[in-house]
A and B are shown apart, each in its own frame.
Chain A
Amino acid sequence: MPAPPPGAIDCDLHPAVPNLKALLPYLDDHWRDMVVQRGVHELDSISYPNNAPVTARQDWKPATGKAGVDLDRVRAEALDGFRTDLAICNCLYGVQLLYTEDMAYAFARAVNDWMAAEWLDKEPRLRASIVVPPQNPDYAAAEIDRLAGDKRFVQVLMLVMDEMPLGRRRYWPIYRAAERHGLPIGIHAGSSYRNPVTSVGWPTYYAEDSAAQAQAFQSTLSSLIMEGVFAEFPDLKVVLLESGFAWLPAHLWRLGKFWRGLRMETPWVDRHPMEIAKDHVRLTIQPRDAPPSPEDFERLMTHFDSDEMLLFSTDYPHWQFDGDDALPAGLSPALAEKICRTNPLATYPRLKEIVA
């Protein structure tokens, strides 16, 4: 089964905060005291139960503790393992889930400083996303401004489900700051769990939460386009992370059909949503919610009407595939090269500067 060509750029890698203690050196005095005095618990999201199958591939899982905490293993398994040139770290420690915005801001700063010191300083192949507190978009914008000078931060990270749909204008200070610094907005699977993960209430099984991420990405894309985010921020790119991708064409057909009938409601949407998405939206290739047969996969690829939208990712250490089978069968070598290298370089201008 297909492995990526050498020199690929992995757009979704998950180094994990081993525990809250690891962040203490990066918190200010007040919050360091609070962690101890109040007995703050680990900020591990229910999106990835620590022992759930998806959270860590068996052969990437340590005997004890979390996967993705050991730099040497990340080097061997994720970087050398797939012969990647660069990998973008998306830390999923649950700071977006906190209810106190000051606390979320403090922990976001700590996670980012921890990322720079413990990962980026030690491994030149790593890049990272800036974790921001969506609880307060002004704080989020300030955090982007604080770190944007460090070119190893190549993206801003948000979760697909928050208090409001992400296109809402409440969030625009984040997009304004990101655009100003040439940083794409990476939107990762997950939720702050302010709302039920489905539009019809809380599910019974973890598998439903996992499945519902695809619907959340669909509605989030509707929101970003219809609110006019891409009209207001014409240089902004959005990367959907761990989103799946097979749903995209059908969703845009439907959004486009209704747009034709309801254009008067959102006059700033001046092009078919498919055209907007082709210019502004990228998706990572894990998980591969695509047809199993290579023939059907090829047909699905034609529905995108673009070879620029997909980006290579391993989603390490999440279990999305076995062995080195990181690419879908049915991908032509030319398209594989685009997905693994050309498209990431085009999406993340900061990678290009440094790679060249």
Chain B
Amino acid sequence: MTVETIQNPGAAIAAGQKLAIADCDIHPSPKSVEKEVFPYLEKRWQDHYNTYGLLLRQPYQNGPAYPKGQPDAARRDAYPPNGGRPGSDLAFMQTHHLDRYNIQLGILNPLRSGQGLQNPDFAAAYCKAVNDWQIAEWTSKEPRLKGSICIPYEDAALSVQEIERRVGDPNFVQAFMLIRTSEPMGNRRYWPIYEACAKNNIPLAVHAFGFGGSPVTGGGWPSFYIEDMVGHAQSAQNLISSIVLEGVFERWPSLKLIIVEAGFAWAPSLGWRLDRVWRQNRHELPHVKRPPSEYMRQNVWYTTQPFEEPDRRSHLKDTFEWIGWDRLLFATDYPHWDFDDPQRIPLPRADAETRNAFFLQNARDLYGV
């Protein structure tokens, strides 16, 4: 432990001085869909759920396309002692996670929320129910936790309804999508979502995974879970390319986009490449007024889990500086197996104020809480 502390100045701060932390990616689950989500779901959709389940654009009725690295993708120590899935017990999450790391602000990102369901009406109803559930079971009981407005993003009109239903509700700090949409995110079919977010000053988080139906690489379906997981970084680059080159940030300059659980170290090279491509194809892109990297610097944030780990920490310092320390948001991904411990990530060396911004203040500034 002493060695770890010496290697990691971030650890000394977090452990020794009880640095307050914002965790921008926590995954809550219902103890039981029937008990916790059904109360907010119309009878029709309860019957639908019981008859067909959650049909996504993926092969299996239950479980992911690729078997995870651990059961339920969870830490072995994250199962609540009173039973239930990891992330389903608030009292256990409080002691096991929030108190332990002095987490002052935790952003809830529900994953089985109805997003990506084939039936758009069911997706809308399920998302609404999951949002109501977040208030009832989590944010109303624990002020450190804030919810995400899950939207049925493949249908923009229904998504806007859900966003507008939650405007001004302090239980929520962001709208929430998944990265693997059915068309690139800059596509016009999604624009009403961006309009609603920008108009209401609601940041838009886009989390790894999703069910768009396209192969997860441009060259088809890979064989392994590791390729699926690493591939979220490529999907995130595809979505940023699309959203910048379609001119979304030119149209809604105040839109705040947060890339969640898809890495960050790829962002500088993406910016350099997009700037080149933009210069080469200016006449195709008259609606993109500035180099793409400038929009990225102004409109995009990144959560850091799973934290990239080069052999040399100085390399990551370059990366942080190229992206901008103010763009990076600490996240743990609790309760998942690839959890990042704030005391163990190889954070580049920085002064106390910068570290505080990274662990807490950037998120407070972004979310205004």
Q: A residues engaging B (CB < 8 A)?
A: 52-54, 160-168, 191, 194-208, 210-212, 214-216, 218-220, 222-223, 226-227, 244, 246-247, 249-251, 253-259, 261-262, 264-266, 274, 287-292, 296, 299-300, 302-303, 305, 319
Residue of A nearest to B292 (CB): A211
CA gap between A11 and B223 in the complex, in Å:
31
B248-288 vs A, CB cutoff 8 Å, 1 = contact: the mask equals 00000000000000010110111011101110110011000
Cross-chain contact A198 with B277 (CB below 8 angstroms):
no
Q: Among B237, B245, B278, B310, which residue has its beta carbon within 8 angstroms of that of A303? A: B310
* Given the contacts A200-B214, A201-B183, A289-B276, A258 and B229 also touching, CB distance less than 8 Å: yes
Cross-chain contact B269 with A207 (CB below 8 angstroms):
no
CA gap between A97 and B217 in the complex, in Å:
18
Residue of A nearest to B264 (CB): A250
CA gap between A199 and B180 in the complex, in Å:
7
Residue of B nearest to A260 (CB): B309
Residues on the B chain within 8 Å of A191, using CB: 218-219
Q: B residues engaging A (CB < 8 A)?
A: 69, 179-187, 210, 212, 214-227, 229-231, 233-235, 237-239, 241-242, 245-246, 263, 265-266, 268-270, 272-274, 276-278, 280-281, 284-285, 306-311, 315, 318-319, 322, 337-338
Residues on the A chain within 8 Å of B181, using CB: 200-201
CA gap between A160 and B274 in the complex, in Å:
19
Cross-chain contact B318 with A201 (CB below 8 angstroms):
no
Instruction: Kindly name the residue among A164, A194, A227 whose own CB sees the greatest number of chain B CB atoms within 10 A.
Output: A164
* Given the contacts A201-B212, A216-B217, A254-B308, A207 and B277 also touching, CB distance less than 8 Å: yes
Residues on the A chain within 8 Å of B224, using CB: 226-227, 262, 265-266
CA gap between A253 and B263 in the complex, in Å:
10
* Given the contacts A199-B235, A247-B269, A261-B337, A219 and B222 also touching, CB distance less than 8 Å: yes
Closest A-B pairs by Cβ, 9 of them: A250-B265, A289-B273, A219-B217, A198-B238, A246-B269, A215-B234, A161-B219, A207-B281, A247-B269
Instruction: Kindly name the residue among A163, A164, A205, A249 whose own CB sees the greatest number of chain B CB atoms within 10 A.
Output: A205
Cross-chain contact B214 with A199 (CB below 8 angstroms):
yes
CA gap between A163 and B220 in the complex, in Å:
6
Cross-chain contact A222 with B309 (CB below 8 angstroms):
no
Residue of B nearest to A193 (CB): B218
Residue of B nearest to A247 (CB): B269
Residue of B nearest to A290 (CB): B272
Q: Among B182, B229, B266, B285, which residue has its beta carbon within 8 angstroms of that of A207? A: B285
CB distance from A352 to the nearest CB of B (A): 31
Cross-chain contact B315 with A216 (CB below 8 angstroms):
no
Residues on the B chain within 8 Å of A292, using CB: 272
Residue of A nearest to B266 (CB): A250
* Given the contacts A163-B220, A203-B242, A261 and B69 also touching, CB distance less than 8 Å: yes
Beyond the given pairs A200-B181, A226-B224, 6 more chain A to chain B contacts, judged by CB atoms under 8 angstroms and listed by A's residue number, are A199-B235, A200-B182, A219-B222, A250-B269, A300-B318, A303-B318
Residue of B nearest to A169 (CB): B223
Q: Among A227, A254, A300, which residue has its beta carbon within 8 angstroms of that of B230? A: A254
CA gap between A206 and B308 in the complex, in Å:
31
* Given the contacts A206-B281, A215-B238, A261-B337, A303 and B219 also touching, CB distance less than 8 Å: no
